Amino acid sequence: MWSTTAQTGGAQAAEAKPQPNPSPGDPAEKPGKGTAAIKQAADAGKYLFLFFSKADDEQTLAMRAVFNKAMKNVTAEPSRLR
């Protein structure tokens, strides 16, 4: 039995307009470091933990320290992308 939410979602999905295909020069077409890291982890059957930040302010640095400490519990040699 379908729920009302599922039926509504299906109706909305049917009304969605198709998105244009990106042009060959679109930056989204070229994989970056992040995409390569995701693929590498997936191919190796490993987990990938990401830490995103906008600035290197005091709060971000404190949270990065917490993240790095947690990563030491997960793996002996974490990798870093910049």
| pLDDT at residue number 79 | 67
Q: What's the pLDDT tens digit per position in 33-78?
A: 889 889 998 999 988 888 889 999 999 999 999 998 888 888 767 6
DSSP 6-72: HHHHHHHHHHPPPPPPPPTT-GGGS--HHHHHHHHHHHHT--------S---HHHHHHHHHHHHHHH
How much is the pTM?
0.50
Q: What is the per-residue pLDDT for 72?
A: 85
What confidence score (pLDDT) does residue 48 get? 87
User: Phi/psi at 76 (nearest 5 deg)?
Assistant: -75, -35
Range with the poorest average pLDDT among 3-7, 26-30, 62-66? 3-7
